[in-house]
Amino acid sequence: EEQLLESGGGLVQPGGSLRLSCAASGFTFSSYAMSWVRQAPGKGLEWVSGISGSGGSTYYADSVKGRFTISRDNSKNTLYLQMNSLRAEDTAVYYCAKDNVPGIAAAAGFEPWGQGTLVTVSS
Amino acid sequence: DIQMTQSPSSLSASVGDRVTITCRASQSISSYLNWYQQKPGKAPQLLIYTASSLQSGVPSRFSGSGSGTDFTLTISSLQPEDFATYYCQQSYSTPWTFGQGTKLEIK
Query: What's the N-to-C CA distance of chain B in angstroms?
Result: 36
**Ramachandran bin of B69, using left for φ above 0, alpha for ψ from -120 to 50, beta for the remaining angles:** alpha
Distance CA B70, CA A51 (A): 28
Q: How distant is the Cα of B32 from the closest Cα of chain A, in angstroms?
A: 6
Which of the 8 DSSP states describes residue B55?
P
**Residue B23 Cα distances to A105, B47, B70, B98, angstroms:** 21, 15, 6, 10
Q: Please give the residue of chain A at the shortest CA–CA distance from B53.
A: A108
Task: Report the alpha-carbon angle A80-A48-B92, nearest 5.
Answer: 120
CA distances from A48 to A58, B8, B22, B41, B92 (A): 11, 25, 24, 20, 16
- Contact between A44 and B87 using a beta-carbon 8 Å cutoff: yes
Q: Using CA atoms, how far apart are residues A62 and A70, in angstroms rounded to an integer?
A: 14
- Each residue's pLDDT tens digit, A108-121: 999 999 999 999 99
Confidence of residue A105 (pLDDT cuts 50, 70, 90): confident
Q: What values do phi and psi take at B32, rounded to 5?
A: -85, 70
Q: For residue A70, what are the β-bridge partners?
A: A81
Determine contact: B43 vs chain A, CB below 8 A.
yes
Q: Tens of pLDDT along A27-56?
A: 999 999 999 999 999 999 999 999 999 999
pLDDT tens-digit map of A54-71? 999 999 999 999 999 999
List residues in chain A touching B: CB distance below 8 A. 35, 37, 44-47, 50, 59-62, 95, 100, 106-116
